[in-house]
């Protein structure tokens, strides 16, 4: 029960204390190979007595595969990524895998640097957002031999495993929904599209669908900085200042849409009769609004979960489409 105030109890010391060989201790601790019940007890007693904590660094070096899973994500501000991590971490913890992460801030160059740093830990898998990577990143990942999982995007070619849904389809369905509801003068409020390429895909496919149905996008407002409620409110305000006769606005995501909704509330703009609002992500918050938000619900947690399960199972290369769900809501 007593832990020694030493950071340095080693397997060899446990073996010594238990009066058995090192490999026997290793076998007992990993519950791998065979050993007698009596040996097990003696080893466990010594472990307990010395407060031994196995050294996974050494263990990983000595054995073939690691149990690290590396996440290289664009952001932690955008709820999407914490949600993915959440879905994945439960599965990983159950299977005694360890999650490691770093944040690229939507910068492909940074992604490359961080992916390289990650590979130095020899992870079992690297999880990345989407398909847009630098040539260098792709080359490194290919050469590394470790599993690669691309998340939240299916519009492109997968390196290995891909889990998510089509952003293009999401953009298309959003446009179709608005058109079918009779909206014709449609605008867009979004954040930086060059950085968030998935939002860019939604937008371009949204526009293409509108154009194909003879109701091309009337106007757009791209705010600087990350998506946020404040930026959504600001963006809508600016857009309406330029083009006052819109009948619907498509937002780059729910945070932005909520900001737009707040703007309407504050300005007394009736939603959806005067102006319809449509979001993306299907956050919990949208359901609690006085008028439920019309949006597309994406399987963020499930994406993380499935991705982790495939890695743990060392599944063959594949692309898993988890789809999404259009929520009619009351704002469009």
Of 36-65, binders to DNA (CB under 7 A) are 36, 38-39, 52, 54-55, 58-59, 61-64
Distance, in Å, from the CA atom of 104 to the CA atom of 95, rounded to the nearest integer, reads: 27
Position 32 contacts DNA (CB under 7 A): yes
Query: What does the chain come to in residues?
Result: 332
Is the distance from CB of 43 to CB of 13 less than 8 angstroms?
A: no
CB of 68 to DNA, least distance (A): 14
Closest listed residue to residue 114, CA positions, set 133, 98, 97: 133
Binding mask 162-201 for its own copies (x = CB under 8 A): ----------------------------------------
Among 26, 39, 66, 303, binds its own copies (CB under 8 A): 66
Binding mask 237-256 for its own copies (x = CB under 8 A): ------------------x-
Q: Which of its own copies, DNA, none is residue 152 near (CB under 5 to 8 Å by kind)? A: none
What sign does the dihedral 185-190-195-197 (CA atoms) show? negative
Q: Which of its own copies, DNA, none is residue 63 near (CB under 5 to 8 Å by kind)? A: DNA
Q: Around Cβ 155, how many Cβ atoms within 10 Å?
A: 19
Closest listed residue to residue 227, CA positions, set 253, 198, 195, 248: 253
Closest listed residue to residue 326, CA positions, set 224, 266, 262, 250: 250
Applying the rule CB under 8 A, the residues between 265 and 304 that interact with its own copies are: 265-266, 284-285, 287-290
Position 120 contacts its own copies (CB under 8 A): yes
DSSP string computed for 299-326: -HHHHHHHHHHHHHTTPPSEEEE---EE
Q: Which of its own copies, DNA, none is residue 198 near (CB under 5 to 8 Å by kind)? A: none
Binding site for DNA (CB under 7 A): 8, 10-12, 19-24, 26-27, 29-30, 32-36, 38-39, 52, 54-55, 58-59, 61-64
């Amino acid at each position: 029960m007593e832990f020694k105030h030493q950071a340095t109890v080693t397997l060899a010391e446990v073996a010594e204390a238990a009066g058995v060989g090192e490999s026997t201790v290793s076998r007992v601790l990993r519950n791998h190979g065979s050993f007698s019940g009596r040996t097990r007890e003696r080893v466990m007693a010594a472990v307990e007595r010395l407060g031994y904590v196995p050294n996974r660094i050494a263990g990983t070096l000595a054995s073939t595969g690691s149990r690290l899973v590396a996440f290289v994500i664009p952001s932690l501000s955008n709820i999407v990524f914490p949600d993915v991590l959440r879905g994945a971490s439960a599965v990983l913890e159950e299977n005694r895998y360890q999650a490691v992460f770093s944040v690229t801030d939507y910068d492909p160059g940074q992604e490359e640097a961080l992916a390289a740093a990650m590979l130095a830990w020899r992870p079992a898998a690297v999880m990345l957002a989407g398909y847009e990577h630098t040539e260098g990143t792709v080359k490194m990942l290919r050469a590394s031999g470790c599993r690669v999982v691309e998340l939240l995007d299916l519009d492109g070619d997968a390196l290995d495993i891909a889990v998510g849904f089509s952003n293009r389809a999401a953009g298309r369905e959003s446009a179709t929904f608005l058109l079918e509801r009779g909206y014709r003068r449609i605008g867009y409020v979004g954040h930086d599209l060059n950085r968030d390429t998935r939002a860019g895909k939604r937008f371009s496919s949204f526009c293409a669908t509108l154009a194909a149905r003879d109701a091309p996008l009337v106007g757009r407002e791209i705010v600087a900085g990350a998506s946020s409620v404040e930026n959504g409110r600001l963006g809508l305000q600016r857009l309406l200042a330029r083009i006052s006769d819109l009948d619907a606005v498509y937002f780059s995501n729910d945070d932005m849409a909520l900001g737009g909704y707040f703007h309407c509330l504050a300005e007394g703009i009736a939603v959806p009769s005067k102006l319809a609002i449509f979001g993306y992500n299907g956050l919990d918050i949208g359901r609690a609004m006085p008028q439920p938000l019309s949006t597309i619900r994406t399987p963020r947690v499930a994406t993380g979960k499935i991705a982790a399960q495939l890695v743990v199972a060392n599944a063959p290369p594949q692309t898993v489409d988890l789809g999404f769900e259009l929520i009619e809501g009351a704002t469009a």
